[in-house]
Chains A and B, each alone.
Chain A
Amino acid sequence: MEQIYLDHAATTPMGKAVIDAMYPVYTEIFGNPSSVHSFGRKARQQLDGARRVMAKSIHANEKEIIFTSGGTEADNLALIGTAYGNREKGNHIITTVQEHHATLHTAEMLEKQGFDVTYLPVYEDGKIKIADLKEALTDATILVSIMYVNNETGVIQPIEEIGQLLADHQAYFHTDAVQAFGLLSIDVKEMGIDMLTASAHKVNGPKGIGFLYADETIPLQALQFGGEQERKRRPGTENVVGAAGFQKAVELVMEDKQQRSVRYQEYKELFMQALQENDVVFYVNGDLDSTIPSIVNLSFPGTNVETLLTNFDLDGIAASSGSACTAGSVEPSHVLAAMFGTNNACTTNSIRFSFGAYNTTENTKEAAKRVAKIVKRLTA
């Protein structure tokens, strides 16, 4: 049976071109970028090239790109680094209830350290309201961290409006753009974004590398201490091979962003259409028209995520849910709970399908067929 991957929001397969770009770095460019000899220079050159591509992809400057181990570290650095670097300006932070745990749990840690954190609500359409943000802002607010695209629902947040609103405020604006990067056009300067998180493995790059874009003027307290790498904001010998892979992946996604958006949107529509044709009852969580092409979150009344995901996997369909299932404990999805209330059935019967490089028209149709069969069997 063909295994079909519909979980590109979790991670993506690496393209051959990406692996090909990494291979010579493994074999030939082993130097330490900080070294003063030719081996080091070669590595530094490689890294500089990668950094340039990252900067260009979001219209930032090279010096504003800090390579990290991935999205989680970038979020941590953005929140903790800004909080500690700007303490004299205030101790208030604004984020939202629907952030990724990399942001939420960091914010909770900062609360314990004495910072005040406001968690903006999210509504049934999956978005925050600018009015809520306006109301929450105070003179003590130093940071606003709002994700670009929600990883569970795929709903795009009003990033430009937030940028505009904060233009006249001291608070820095950070956005976790892990799900948006590579599909949506991002211009940090034009959009008023001061910090942005991106991750390589979500865009067909290698795991273990990401970056934080941080405007040069932001006083950012480093989280680790050591050498002078990443202009002291992230010490530690650089992941040159990872950066080379990340570079290639970004070059590729930037090249055909438009075509991929159209393709993934087609898969998504095809998938839902096939479910409908098979008389499967389902609801879309969040405003479908505001979702990124690659992600859709569907609620299947009368089912539960454990049984669905297990059945899907046994039938070769890889999808996921926002409900964290650890050792059998199903925590209802915090995103859907924030949108619809903790007791709403959709918090425990919803599945995220995310399309990407692995998919074709054929395997999307086949996946829908298998999903329909399982859902109908379970709700019969």
Chain B
Amino acid sequence: MKDNKDIRVVVGMSGGVDSSVAALLLKEQGYDVVGIFMKNWDDTDEFGVCTATEDYDDVIRVCNQLDIPYYAVNFEKQYWDKVFTYFLDEYKSGRTPNPDVMCNKEIKFKAFLDHAISLGADYLATGHYAQVRKTNGHYEMLRGADDNKDQTYFLNQLTEDVLAKVMFPLGDLPKPKVREIAKEHGLVTADKKDSTGICFIGERNFKQFLSEYLPAQSGEMQTLEGTVKGRHDGLMYYTIGQRQGLGIGGSGDPWFVVGKNLQANILYVEQGYSNDKLYSDRLIATDVNWINPDLVQETFTCTAKFRYRQADSPVTVTVLENGHVDVVFAESTRAITPGQAVVFYDGDVCLGGGTIDEVFKDDHYLDYVG
């Protein structure tokens, strides 16, 4: 067994409190810790100011407090090619993509992992709330101990060979404890606000951001029966189950997005939070990843999440010949959205996941969901 001091761990540091504490804990455990800041997006504004510069400055301060070396690496090109292009393509197809899942798959745990290995790292560590466990010779990914912060949903595309090289030092900690540790050690990031939203959009107006990259084509808002209820600003601005921003007033229950017709450029809306048209009981997912493929049976029951931070739902999964999965829900579920991830769990073990592609109700394909 190597001493911890002979084990090099590269920590992906964002300048936030989580990755700061991840580095601190590893340093306390005596590892050869190297902090690396990843820059994936050029957000330089018209005054030449870029939040990445300030975040990197925080990384420098924290690393100097911990007395570990720090460097930066640029993956703007890879991010654009692998994540942002996918993100735009999905919106063009009327779907609601999850760029964080793709970023973890293609950038953080691929390009960045390769970079860490090229620096002689034995492990890559991040501040994600998830856990790695070795069971019977297999590496498994478990939910983070803090239910509220568990991030395995975003990590569903990782594979066992990647997990073998990954550490999640915060996996067994509740978030408040992480802040407490940061405060105790006087880390400059202790009180830094958590980042919200999609990393490259940040605090900006989402609609405006998207309109800079994709042409918006306004069209009609209709009920599924064809009654025109108003106009929409472009299908890409709406997601299934959305209530805000429709601008349909009047009496009765509020209106919700239930689907889209890309060809005819129609946004479908129906009335009432629990409207039947928002519910489905089966889906097909593509781009399926199993963390431990050897352990997956053809048909099995487990639980699933269809959105981040949603409670688990019991499902029956059938692996199809083409590798896609057919997922039947024990209970019909609201606002299943194509483009989002469906992630499977056996208790605390994350089995993997896929991208929601088609949605069904009573064995009918819901073409209006898209």
Contacts and interface: CB of A to CB of B under 8 A. Distances in A.
B115 interface: yes
Contacts of A326: 53, 56, 72
A46 interface: no
A306 interface: yes
Interface string B347-366: 00000000000000000000
Given A307-B115, A314-B34, A325 B120 contact: no
Interface stretch (A159-167, A242-250, A327-335): A327-335
A328 B119 contact: no
16 contacts: A306-B74, A307-B118, A310-B71, A310-B73, A313-B69, A314-B34, A314-B69, A325-B72, A326-B56, A327-B52, A327-B53, A328-B37, A328-B73, A328-B74, A329-B42, A329-B76
Contact of A327 (B34, B50, B115): B50
Contacts of A325: 72, 74
Interface string B37-78: 111001000000010110111000000000001011110100
A378 interface: yes
A307 B74 CA distance: 10
Interface in A272-316: 306-307, 309-311, 313-314
B118 A311 contact: yes
B44 to A, nearest CB: 8
Contacts of B57: 327
Q: How large is the interface on B (under 10, 10 to 19, 20 to 34, 35 or more residues)?
A: 20 to 34
Which bracket fits the contact residues of A? Answer: 10 to 19
Nearest to B53: A327
B202 to A, nearest CB: 15
Contact of A328 (B39, B118, B120): B39
B60 to A, nearest CB: 10
Given A311-B120, A314-B34, A314-B120, A328 B72 contact: yes
Nearest to B38: A328
A interface majority secondary structure = helix
A330 B119 contact: no
A63 B88 CA distance: 65
A327 B53 CA distance: 5
Contacts of A306: 71-74
B67 to A, nearest CB: 15
Contacts of B119: 307, 310-311, 314
A364 B42 CA distance: 38
A329 B52 CA distance: 9
Contacts of A330: 74
A109 to B, nearest CB: 14
A325 B72 CA distance: 8
Closest 10 CB pairs of A and B: A328-B39, A328-B72, A327-B56, A328-B74, A310-B71, A327-B52, A327-B53, A330-B74, A306-B73, A328-B73
Contacts of B36: 310
B37 A327 contact: yes
A329 B74 contact: yes
Nearest to B40: A328
Interface in B10-39: 34, 36-39
Contacts of B71: 306, 309-310, 313
Among A311, A313, A314, A378, find the residue whose CB has the most chain B CB atoms closer than 10 A: A314
A113 B50 CA distance: 26
Contacts of A377: 118
Indicate the member of A306, A327, A329 with the most B CB atoms within 10 Å: A327
Given A310-B71, A328-B74, A378 B52 contact: no
B199 to A, nearest CB: 13
A306 B38 CA distance: 11
A311 B39 CA distance: 18
B50 to A, nearest CB: 7
Nearest to B34: A314
B69 A327 contact: no
